[in-house]
């Protein structure tokens, strides 16, 4: 079992939230076996969460995040710019919990807590766009439109299925756009409905069938989808085979790089780890091994 002297546990519990009480009951008995001093912080806003992460970053060995991808994204953007960063452990407390799946964690909280405290710490890559950071993905096009079309009522009742339903609503309305990407001085251009820059392996609970995709290889995986048809899906599954030559793909463009510049478009909304931004797109790069994270021993 791993051992830590001091840890900060951040979560969000609204008044009368019985579900949060159960989440704490499922996780705290496991965590306290591995942590000498555990600081519990119930953050009621994004600003309070950011302040807690920054304040304790150089005072704790471990930051435990109980929440979904949005909470993880907020914590990441709080600590990534700092010179001293704690080890990070993620407890899946949201709808999709995509990056916790990349870490190999069970999706039940007690199982996840046990896996974390018996897991292995690895240096993990972080993506950066200007002064913002992403753990799982950066995207424009269909992915952003799908996120914006999610029905809050469906999300509350149906959980991950709501992302599938939103995709069905959005995919037939997807419009292609012209892209120009500069990679190592080479200009790559064409038409696409979706531009992904990937670091994690899951999107909307679905594992992407790309054999080379890893958050520990010091590379960004760039995926462009030209059309929402069966041929695109079939080519995507070809990427499961490491021997697939990406130059032979017709409906997809796929390559790895450590940095890129989006020359066009620069006016589309950006989806980073499920959070929507209106920022103008400029430069994206990978920060190899920037955050130490706990992975399950699968």
For the annotated catalytic residues, the residue numbers are 275
Residue entry with tokens 């309305």: 173
Cα–Cα distance, 206 to 181 (Å, whole number) = 27
Core vs surface per residue 126-162: b (16+ CB within 10 A) or e = bbbbeebbbbbbbbbbbbbbbbebbeeeebeeeebeb
Q: What is the 3-state secondary structure (H, E, C) of 56-73?
A: HCCCCCEEEEEECHHHHH
* Residue 207 in tokens: 């594992």
Q: Pseudo-torsion of CA 260, 264, 269, 272, nearest 10°?
A: -10
Cα–Cα distance, 148 to 159 (Å, whole number) = 15
Q: Could you tell me how many residues make up the chain?
A: 298
| Dihedrals phi, psi of 197, to nearest 5 degrees | -120, 115
Residue entry with tokens 């531009």: 195
Q: 42: how many CB neighbours lie within 10 A of its CB?
A: 16
Q: 231: how many CB neighbours lie within 10 A of its CB?
A: 13
Nearest to 275 by CA among 108, 120, 71: 71
| Dihedrals phi, psi of 227, to nearest 5 degrees | -155, 155
């Amino acid at each position: 079992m791993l051992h830590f002297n001091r840890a900060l546990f951040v979560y969000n519990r609204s008044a009368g939230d019985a579900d949060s009480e159960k989440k704490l009951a499922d996780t705290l008995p496991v965590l306290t076996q591995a942590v000498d001093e555990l600081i519990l912080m119930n953050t009621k806003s994004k600003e309070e969460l950011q302040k807690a992460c920054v304040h304790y970053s150089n005072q704790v060995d471990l930051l435990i995040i109980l929440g979904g991808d949005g909470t993880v994204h907020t914590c990441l953007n709080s600590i990534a710019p700092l010179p001293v960063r704690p080890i990070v452990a993620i407890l899946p407390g949201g709808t999709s919990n995509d990056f916790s799946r990349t870490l190999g964690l069970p999706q039940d909280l007690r199982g996840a807590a046990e896996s974390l405290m018996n897991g292995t710490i690895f240096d993990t890559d972080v993506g950066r766009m200007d002064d913002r950071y992403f753990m799982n993905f950066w995207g424009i096009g269909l992915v952003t439109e799908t996120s914006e079309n999610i029905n809050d009522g469906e999300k509350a009742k149906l959980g991950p299925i709501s992302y599938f339903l939103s995709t069905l609503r959005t995919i037939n309305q997807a419009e292609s756009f012209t892209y120009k990407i500069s990679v190592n001085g080479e200009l790559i251009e064409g038409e696409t409905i979706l531009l992904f820059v990937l670091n994690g392996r899951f999107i909307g609970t679905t594992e992407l069938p790309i054999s080379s995709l890893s958050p520990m290889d010091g590379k960004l995986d760039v995926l462009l989808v030209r059309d929402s048809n069966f041929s695109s899906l079939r080519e995507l599954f070809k990427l499961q085979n490491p021997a697939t030559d990406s130059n032979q793909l017709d409906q997809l463009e796929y390559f790895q790089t450590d940095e890129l510049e989006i020359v066009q478009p620069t006016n589309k909304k950006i989806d980073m780890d499920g959070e929507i931004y209106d920022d103008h797109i400029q430069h994206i790069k990978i920060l190899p091994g920037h955050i130490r994270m706990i992975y399950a021993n699968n």
